[in-house]
Amino acid sequence: MSEAHHGVDAVAQLRHDLRTPVNQILGYSEMLEEDAEADGHDAYVSDLKKVQMAARTLLSLINTKITTEELGAAAASASAASPTHGTTPGAEPTAAAAAPSATAQPATAPRWTAPAEEPEAALARFEGKVLAVDDNQNNLDVLQRRLERHGLTVVTAVNGRDALEKIAAEPFDMVLLDLIMPELDGFQVLQRLKADPAHRHLPVIMISALDELDSVIRCIESGAEDYLPKPFNPTLLRARISACLEKKAMRDAEQRYLQTIEETKNRLDGELAEAAHYVRSILPEPSEAPLPIDWKYTPSTELGGDAFGYHWIDDDHFAIYLLDVCGHGVGASLLSVTAINVIRSGSLPKTDFRDPGAVLSALNTAFPMEKQNNMYFTIWYGVYHAPTRTLRHASGGHPPSLLLVPDGAGGQTCHRLRVPGLIVGAMDDLVYNSQTCDVPPGSRLLVLCDGCYEVTCPDGRMLEFDEFTSFMQEHGAHPEGLDRLESWIRGLNGPGPLDDDFSIVRILF
């Protein structure tokens, strides 16, 4: 690819080509000086400094004399001295005119001052793997030796395609990338790296003998971390390497941290899903006989604080119960599952599970708040006596259950079943009372939690329990009544999860 394509004019290219070998001389002499100082060969240090001073002076001359203006002036001067401008044809220049004085210095040559010695800083050590990319083997050799002196592992590439292949094959902590190269230049390599999600965060420092500002701007805009001109200042190079490696290490640590968080989240999600599956597994299956029973259960989070159950205590007595632990999440779910299992297994000592009040009193004793991380629960517990078609029930801070009784005209009469009682676990030695009601044939019992009606309406007010009761009186006996209820509540709630667990059990007697 032509250099003109890069926006590099002929004069700039000439400066580039002239400075490249001088840079190599300067780089090797600096490393030789470091070795001489380390080995105590002070006699060589002075000579090596002279070599460096001469090289830097030559670089300064290249920068100041190899310009469009200076070359134009030189061409004009040469034209004025040509035979057509008064020079005797065939005349040869004198030796004095042809060879400038060995001691003469250009009047405009800038002075160079040797940098302060930094023997300790020069020995700074880093850890990391660096890819150095340059199409000039001598440049690569100087750069590789300089980087390896700082403890870095260095891999080299001789062109842009070679660099991309090596970056794809192994991880690097940083890339030092020459700007002007055949096939793929440094700009193109940089742009491809920054367009690749796998490597866009790989730090890249551009290195080139070109010193035009537009080249610097173009590299930075394309995503380069920094730009170093050749010959690179060892102190500056060391500082840039340190900054890039530190940035790369911080990002790697951040990525490891994020990966750990993601792995932890995935593990917790899996455990929560497993726990949610367990909670559902202990819920009784809907049934058709001897009593048709169906239900809806939708926790507001992965694990809710609601739980319910029903079972035959004996041939005549059928227990129905639903409890709601304060709060949500793992703690609430653990308490609700524990309490439900205690009821289902009948493991409360000296308790007649056919007596709802006695069951709630025993639960209050078994689950005091101070031993349950200050959590409590509400509960509705009822026992249906099949021979007499009566329902005995008690409640502890729980919403009323609804008994829908056919009115003989195709409608339903709604009775609220609730016995006043405090939440379970709040106080010691509470006594819960029971009440009994008749259950006519065709009646439906709805046992529910407060999440079935405590919802904020679109106008900002809370749904009234009377509105909920009216809705269930109209739809509660319909085969799809529970689905209609959930759809209605979700419509009032709006997008997103419900604020509370949604649990309701329906039994046809």
pLDDT tens, position by position, 171-203: 999 999 998 888 899 999 999 999 999 999 999
CATH number for the domain spanning 470: value is: 3.60.40.10
pLDDT for the residue 13: 67
Kindly state whether residue 84 falls inside one of the protein's structural domains. no
Same domain assignment for residues 132 and 232:
yes
Domain count, the chain: 2
How far apart are the C-alpha atoms of 216 and 179, rounded to whole Å?
10
Indicate the range of 125-134, 177-186, 269-278 predicted with least confidence.
269-278
CB within 8 Å of 143: residues ≥ 6 apart: 27, 132, 134, 154, 176, 207
Residues 17 and 152 reside in one and the same domain: yes
Distance CA(43)–CA(497), nearest Å, equals: 82
Q: Specify whether 233 is located in the same domain as 380.
A: no
> Do 458 and 363 share a structural domain?
yes
Rounded to 5 degrees, φ, ψ at 99 are -115, 115
Asked if residue 81 belongs to a domain, the reply is: no
pLDDT in tens, 310-341: 999 999 999 999 999 998 788 889 999 999 99
* High-pLDDT (> 90) share of the chain, %: 48
Alpha-carbon gap, residue 249 to 260, rounded angstroms: 16
Residue 164 pLDDT > 90, yes or no? yes
Q: For residues 307 and 221, state if they share a domain.
A: no
Q: Which of 235, 251, 267 is the last residue of a domain?
A: 251
CATH value at residue 21:
3.40.50.2300
Residue 194 domain flag:
yes
Same domain? 350 vs 465: yes
Domain range for 497: 282-508
The verdict on 230 and 306 lying in the same domain is no
Same-domain check for residues 15 and 127:
yes
| Whether 294 and 244 share a structural domain | no
Specify if 187 maps to a domain: yes
Two tokens, residue 492: 């009032």
Judgement on whether residues 189 and 52 belong to the same structural domain of the protein: yes
- Give the Cβ contact number of residue 132 at 10 Å: 24
Is the previous residue joined to 286 through a cis bond, with omega within 30 degrees of 0? Answer: no
User: Do 14 and 146 fall within a single domain?
Assistant: yes
Q: What is the pLDDT of residues 470-483, one digit of tens each?
A: 999 999 999 999 99
Token couple for 308 = 């319910």
Q: Does a structural domain hold residue 218?
A: yes
Residue 434 shares a structural domain with residue 488: yes
Q: Is residue 122 part of a domain?
A: yes
DSSP state of 450: G
| 104 domain-assigned | no
- Over residues 83-113, the pLDDT tens digits come to 554 444 444 444 334 434 433 444 333 333 4
